Amino acid sequence: MTTWFAVDIGGTFTDFVIYDEASGLLNVAKVLSTPDALERAIEDLIEGETLGVSISDASYFIQGTTVGLNTILERTGPTLGQLATRGFRDVLELRRGKRDEMYNLFWHPPQPLIPRRLRLPVSERTTGEGRILHEVEPIDIREATQIFTANGVESVAVAFINSYANPKNELVARDLLQEFGYEGEVSLSHEVSSEYREFERTSTTVIDAYVRPQVNRFLKGLDNKLKNLGFSGLFLITRCGGGLITLDEATRRPFETIQSGPVAGAMGAAEICRHLGIKDAIAADVGGTSFETCLIANSKLPMKFSGEVADLPIQAPWVDVHSIGTGGGSLAWIDEGGLLRVGPRSAGSNPGPASYGWGGLEATVTDAAVALGMLGHTKLAGGITLDHELAIRALKPLAERLSKDPIELAIGVITIMSASMANAIREATVQKGHDPRGAVLIAFGGAGPLFATHLARELGISTILIPPHPGNFSAWGLLSQDIMQTYSKSIVLPLDDHSIDLANDEIASLFERLAGVHGASLGGKSEEREVALDLRYRGQEYSLTIPVPSTDGRIEHKAVWIVDEFNRRYEEVYGHLLGTPIELVAVRATSRLRLAKPALVASLTKVAGDANKSAADEVRTYSYAAGRWIPFALIERTSIQVGDRLEGPAIITEPTSTTYLDSGFSLLVDESGNVAISAQRKVD
Amino acid sequence: MTESDIRTYLAGAETAQASSDADPITTEVVRHALISATKLMKVTLCRTAFSPTIYEHLDFACALYDRHIRLLAQAPSLPIFLGTLNFCVDAVVRATGGAEILVPGDILLTTYGFDTGSHSQDAALVMPAFCEDELMGYAVIKAHWADIAAKDPYCTDTVDNFQEGTIYPGIRIFRAGRLQEDLYRTVLANSRFPERLIGDFNAQVNGLRAGVKAFCGIVEKHGVETFNSSIERMFDHGEEIVRRKFAQIPDGRYLARGIMDDNGVSDDPIPFDITVEVRGSDVLVDYAAAPPQQPGPVNCPLPATVSASRVAICAIAGVGETSHEGHFRPIKVRVRKGTMFDPKPPAPIFLYGWPMFQAIEVICLAIAKAMPTAVPGGSGGDICGVNWWGEEQDGEKWYQAGPHVVGQGGSAQADGANALMHIGTAATGETPIELWEARYPVQIDKWELAADSAGSGRHRGGLGVDFDIRMLRDCYITATFERTKNPGWGLEGGKPGRKNSLWVEFPDGSKTEFAKATRVPIPAGSVMAFRTGGGGGWGKPADRDPEKIHEDIANGYMTEERCREEYPHVFAEAQENTQINGTLDD
């Protein structure tokens, strides 16, 4: 018998999901976040009476955190220093010289996280083949140490040119730093990433150094608190590349924890796909300030090997979630040419949408939905009461400027919001060679179910799936993951049987490092090894990552098999083939420890507490399908049973979200009893 | 030359159709969908292209046009190309017999520089967008091909257009979806790097097809009528944004002078004047006083001259994300036939981009005379390009080229940005050092901000870079450095930055400076030293905040020695303080 605690800390809410394997029951809770001391919300809830489950019974505590992300966004990290190869101290500041805004004469890149005076040059050099051209000059490190100490540097990034090919000089530099008396944290670029591209690797290392003190303080603090509360299980943290890592690994590689919410939601969606045998799905997570989407093909999440946070690149496995800055709290505005726009500025949680009555005066997407009756009722999670009058009042000034009435404006706001989300979905699917029309739309996040039928109509999607507790779905997604870590290494060679041998050697040493990572705490669980190769046509820069079957982490296939596999995949993605030679670019080794949770998906429909059978009500709401106001059935989600069928128009309410089921759509609770709502568009 | 040689170019006007009744909300939806469609073209092209020129340097432009060849949307890519694409579409459709005989699946190719506003290497492929058998517009991608059989892979010394690459004067390379094999083989035969060309060509075709498909999806979704009225409203909206900005600029004629270093075949500087006339919200960019067309390749064909004007005006107007035909409507461009900015064929035009880079900055300088807060000071003003090629040990040919960063001018608001691409190649990026070293026989000794390279001022310019590349094997270079004689200018009392320069230190220790030079043999062991220019300052140095000066010294952006010369006021005060307090260290 195992009990799992999963907690996703967001900007506004901290979401809990507790899963008891024995009873198959799910407990769900949502509390306001406590930004000044994030762990307090967790502590309060665990200590409180409401959960009905004791932390001391839990075997796993899984945590998604935004501590690292916030440190960067708010620039609240420590004073950093950097050691750089002499001649290259400005890699961090020079970036790639691009202007992010094409027509902006005044554009400046974001301020580097380390000022130039603390980016110090060291005489040393390694070649692209990994040959040490110059050993580290100790005097440079001694001088740097003095400067770091005099400036109160708490964390140092060491990022040397070509260290991906040979780590020796970085290791020597670290030892010398310590020898000369530096006592703070050190992040080494080759440990953070073994791939080439010095700016991206340096940026990742600097981010690692920057978030390290805060993330580690938070994680260790929380770990202590949990122990004091009686928790004796395993503390796991989700990483931006998907999968869980141990507390130990997270404190060694804190940059990997930087972004977890969007990943966890996508993970949850993939878990549902696996369970229900859904081939292609689109995860659509509509939150308060952003919309995140990705395509889940063959139940697998799209991965890429670089991400970005606040315009700073991160060279690490990254779930390829496409994000745009519009959500329920996004503000509507009229630009200087007289067109209506939505976002990216948001009302956040303070003052929040006008209809919350917390003092917000500007119209948000939520206010538009309130004006149109799409939210059905007036109570939301966290004790929020929606005020229709305030929503209309906020919409009015914008409406007047466009010579429209507030309702017309509200219709427009929802239309623009839906269209921009649909564009984002197209960019996440069509641009990758997938047709969204055949996919199932899995909508979640507080506002996902509100927009589900809109998105389906925009994209020509016929099946929607809305899991229960859509507002807490990301936290549930935390539960669906395995313990997993991936290490990689650049190795650029023509693809042939010989290079596969060399690749196997590299892979073996990556698995050796990974074995150390999982450590003793996981004894008894069997490790699964996965291998992938980055390949491209010789001459190209961008590569495709091709999973390759292996026997305990060793590739047995010959080059000719891998060539065929690459060609097949290339044609699938790009629609054509090139007859030119293929090149190996990098090897990727993944070690996975499966955390079996056979009844997890079933738990979605088994919520602790009584089903609330209330009589169906009715509410007048604007129907986009009909283009006018019509009566919508108002139904509580807990009153719908497996096998029930319901025709739109209807509004289905539950504590964490509201589903807007437009006319022309019907709803069916899955016969298997496993999953909640699927909505099907009727043939017109 | 007579007045009859003068011609004025104006952007596509509105059609007779009333436009303002289109719904502003649908308009916004259509606008975004069009931008999204061009991004799809860009991604498709980049992901499968073979040349770093395309996937790293984004030396291309993707756009969609309506049936009247008005720009609907463009993906962020090479700004100097973006304003030329309507000329490409117009010329290639006319050359192949007109829009009436186009059929779905046709793809047309032109490399004729006087039609494309580029050298022949920049090949424009155009695909008509038939939505349910109705011609609704065009997808176009102009991209830099690795080689198209000019006299050298890259040239600075051509004397006519025929030396500059094969001219495909508007041909049907795909007929109703079928590749014309004979023509295709001819194209490949005319390239020094056919393998790369195959990859890039296919990528370009894929990008076009993806664009047409997405375009038709948008038309289908909204219906032809709504689509058409929405784009009219979108154009009106863009026009309004530009007009608002120019309405704030006082009426008048503002003249500014630029100076090109030379024309590539002789050494004399080429001064040129551009006048910007603002009347209400109309802008006329007048090149009629330009010098005669040059015997070397720094001539700028009309489409390129128009494009340079569009880049400058859109940048000054602060057109945010991406432009369309509406933004261009207030802009008139006046040129005189037979001059550097409207040369007659077969004038050499290989370096057409270099007068464009200059013109963009000179237009800003003219506006500074009307409103000095509206623009920054001069930048390094060039892309400091070097093309090089040679053979690897195993005999494999390699070729590398790319633009480099320069310091930007200070402005009324802030110091200039350090080391960015020229606004004319804004979305382009530098190639990573480690990628250079992994791929080419080079070792990079230095890539660093150059202290003291910025012009002083209340807001100083941005720094240029020092970039030293050691060649490990013999190779050839073609250098295309401009603004090696004239620095980026300051405004309102700000000082100029450092000039661009390039030299090669040969293995025997001798040094030679280069600016524009073609096919120079460089032996292994030589070091090529790039010194890219700094931006000009804005406002008088004496008004600079002392705290910023001390910060610059602490960070090594400026040396103390140089600051003592440029900003004596700060050090004079410090001296007084020393005397009073006796605490400051020397």
Q: Which of residues 482-541 of A touch B (CB under 8 A)?
A: 492, 537, 539-541
pLDDT tens by residue, B37-70: 998 899 889 877 877 778 777 889 999 999 999 9
pLDDT of residue A381: 62
- Which of helix, strand or coil describes residue B256? strand
Q: For residue A461, how far is the Cα from the chain centroid?
A: 24
Predicted confidence (pLDDT) at residue B321 exceeds the cutoff of 70: no
**Does A336 contact B at CB distance below 8 Å?**
yes
Contact B443 A127 (CB under 8 A): yes
| Minimum Cα–Cα distance from B42: chain A residue | A431
Q: Does A471 touch chain B (CB under 8 A)?
A: no
Give the residue from chain B lying closest to A84, CA to CA.
B448
Query: Using CA atoms, how far apart are residues B108 and B96, in angstroms rounded to an integer?
Result: 8
Phi and psi, residue B129, nearest 5°? -100, 100
| Rounded alpha-carbon distances, angstroms, from residue B354 to A53, A586, B424 | 72, 39, 10
Looking at beta carbons, which residues of chain A come within 8 Å of B363? none
Chain A, nearest residue to B461 by Cα? A106
A575 touches chain B (CB under 8 A): yes
Please check whether residue A304 touches B, CB under 8 A: no
Estimate the crossing angle of helix B224-247 against helix B24-48, to 10 degrees: 90
pTM for the whole thing? 0.88
Q: Does A434 touch chain B (CB under 8 A)?
A: no
- Peptide bond between residue A344 and the one before it cis (omega within 30 degrees of 0): yes
Distance (Å, whole) CA A27 – CA A276: 22
Could you give the CA distance from residue B147 to residue B160 in angstroms, rounded to a whole number?
18
If residue A417 lies in a helix (H) or strand (E), which one and from where to where?
helix A406-429
The chain B residue lying nearest A133, using CA atoms, is: B443
Between CA A49 and CA B260 the distance in angstroms is 79
Residue in chain A nearest B197 by alpha carbon: A539
Q: Please give the share of chain B, as a percent, with pLDDT higher than 70.
A: 95
CA-to-CA distance for B465 and B533, rounded, in angstroms? 7
Instruction: Please give the pLDDT value at position A335.
Output: 82
Q: Which of residues 126-155 of A touch B (CB under 8 A)?
A: 127-128
A111: contact with B, CB 8 A cutoff: no
Instruction: Write out chain A residues lying below 8 Å of B39, CB-based.
Output: 427, 431
Q: In what order do the strands lie in the sheet with A645-647?
A: A322-324, A291-297, A280-286, A440-444, A463-466, A677-681, A665-669, A645-647
A663: confidence class by pLDDT, cuts 50, 70, 90: confident
CA B482 – CA A179 distance, rounded (Å) = 49
Q: Are A356 and A32 in contact (CB under 8 A)?
A: no
Instruction: Give the Cα separation of A583 and A499 in Å (integer).
Output: 10
User: Closest to A340 (Cβ–Cβ): which among B24, B241, B318?
Assistant: B24
Give the nearest partner residue to A430 out of B40, B404, B428, using CB atoms: B40
Does A298 contact chain B (CB < 8 Å)?
A: no
- Alpha carbon distance A428, A422 (integer Å): 10
Contact B29 A415 (CB under 8 A): yes
- The Cα B454–Cα B376 span in angstroms is 13
pLDDT tens digits for range A151-178: 999 999 999 999 998 999 999 999 999 9
Element (H, E) at A573: helix A559-574
Mean pLDDT along residues A531-538: 89
* B464 closest CA partner among B432, B501, B491: B501
Mean pLDDT over residues B195-216, rounded? 91
Residues paired with residue B260 on neighbouring β-strands, in sequence order:
B270
Burial class (CB in 10 A: 0-12, 13-18, 19+), A234: middle
Can you state the angle between helices B353-370 and B302-317, rounded to 10 degrees? 40
Q: If 0-12 CB within 10 Å is exposed, 13-18 middle and 19+ buried, where does residue B80 land?
A: buried
- Name which of A88, A102, A109 is nearest B417 (Cβ-Cβ): A109
Residue A559, C-beta contacts closer than 8 angstroms, at least 6 positions apart: A495, A496, A497, A499, A500
Is the pLDDT higher at A574 or at B154? B154
Count CB-CB contacts under 10 A for residue A87.
20
Mean pLDDT, to the nearest integer, of B25-30? 84
pLDDT-derived band at A674, boundaries 50, 70, 90: very low
Residues of chain B found within 8 Å of residue A415, distances taken between Cβ atoms = 25-26, 29
Task: Tell me which residue of A393, A453, A408, A406 sits closest to A652, measured CA to CA.
Answer: A453
Which chain B positions have a beta carbon within 8 Å of A115's beta carbon? 555
Which among A161, A427, A541 has the least Cβ separation from residue B433? A161
The answer to whether the CB atoms of B25 and A412 lie below 8 A apart is yes
For residue A537, which residues of chain B lie inside 8 Å, CB to CB? 50, 199
Residue A105 pLDDT greater than 80, yes or no: yes
Q: What is the pLDDT of residue B427?
A: 82
The confidence band for A632, taking pLDDT boundaries of 50, 70 and 90, is very high
CA B402, CA B389: separation in Å to the nearest integer?
A: 12
Residue B182 distance to chain A (closest CA, Å): 19
**Which CA distances in Å does B390 have to B153, B385, B474, B502?**
11, 17, 7, 20
pLDDT value, residue A604: 66
> Measured between beta carbons, which residues in chain A are less than 8 angstroms from residue B432?
96, 196-200
Kindly tell me if the per-residue pLDDT of B466 is higher than 80.
yes
Q: Which of chain A's residues have a Cβ under 8 Å away from the Cβ of B426?
A: 98-99, 101-103
Nearest CB to B465; choose among A94, A96, A98 = A94
Question: Tens digit of pLDDT for each residue in A283-320?
Answer: 999 987 789 999 998 888 888 778 888 788 998 888 88
Q: What are phi and psi of A157, to 5 degrees?
A: -100, 130
For the cut 80, the answer to whether the pLDDT of residue B211 exceeds it is yes
B425-464 pLDDT, tens per residue? 888 889 899 988 988 899 999 999 999 999 999 999 999 9
Give CA–CA dist B411/B417, Å, rounded. 10
Give the ranges where B462-512 is alpha helix by DSSP (H): none
**Nearest-CB residue to A542 (from B26, B36, B55):** B55
CB contact under 8 A, A91 and B447: yes
Write out the two tokens for A181.
């008396």
**How far is the alpha carbon of B319 from chain A, nearest alpha carbon, in Å?**
6
| Dihedral sign (CA B321, B324, B330, B335) | positive
Residue type, A217: R
The whole-angstrom separation of Cα A330 and Cα A342 is 6
Q: Answer for the pair B322, B293: CB distance below 8 angstroms, yes or no.
A: no
Residue B447 and residue A90: Cβ atoms within 8 Å?
A: yes
Cα–chain center distance at B202: 24
Query: What's the confidence (pLDDT) of residue A380?
Result: 66
Per the CB < 8 Å rule, is A198 touching B434? yes
For the stretch A198-253, pLDDT in tens is 999 999 999 999 999 989 999 999 999 999 999 998 999 998 888 898 898 899 88
**CA–CA gap between residue A469 and residue A657 (Å, rounded):** 7
A351 upstream amide cis, omega within 30 of 0? yes
Convert the pLDDT of each residue in A83-97 to its tens digit: 999 999 999 999 999
SS3 A647: strand
Q: Is B374 helix (H, G, I), strand (E, B) or coil?
A: coil
- If you measure CA to CA, which chain B residue comes closest to A419? B29
pLDDT band at residue A11 using 50, 70 and 90 as cut-offs: low
The tokens of A117 are what? 């005076």
* Selected residue with higher pLDDT from A374 and B50: A374
Residue A541 pLDDT > 80: no
Least confident of A11-15, A545-549, B14-18, B242-246: B14-18
For residues B111 and B166, the answer to whether their CB atoms sit within 8 Å is: yes
- Within 538-567 of A, beta carbons closer than 8 Å to B belong to 539-542
Distance CA B267, CA B290 (A): 18
Residue type, B109: L
Predicted pLDDT of residue A399: 94
Q: Hunting for tokens 């605690």 — which residue is that?
A: A5
A431:B43 CB<8 A: yes
Alpha carbon distance B546, B552 (integer Å): 10
Summarised one tens digit per residue, pLDDT across range A594-616 is 876 766 776 666 554 444 445 56
Is the CB of residue A576 less than 8 Å away from at least one CB of chain B? yes
* A657-661/A650-654 β-pairing: antiparallel
Question: Inter-chain contact B430–A117, Cβ cutoff 8 Å?
Answer: no
Checking if the pLDDT of B180 tops 90, the result is: yes
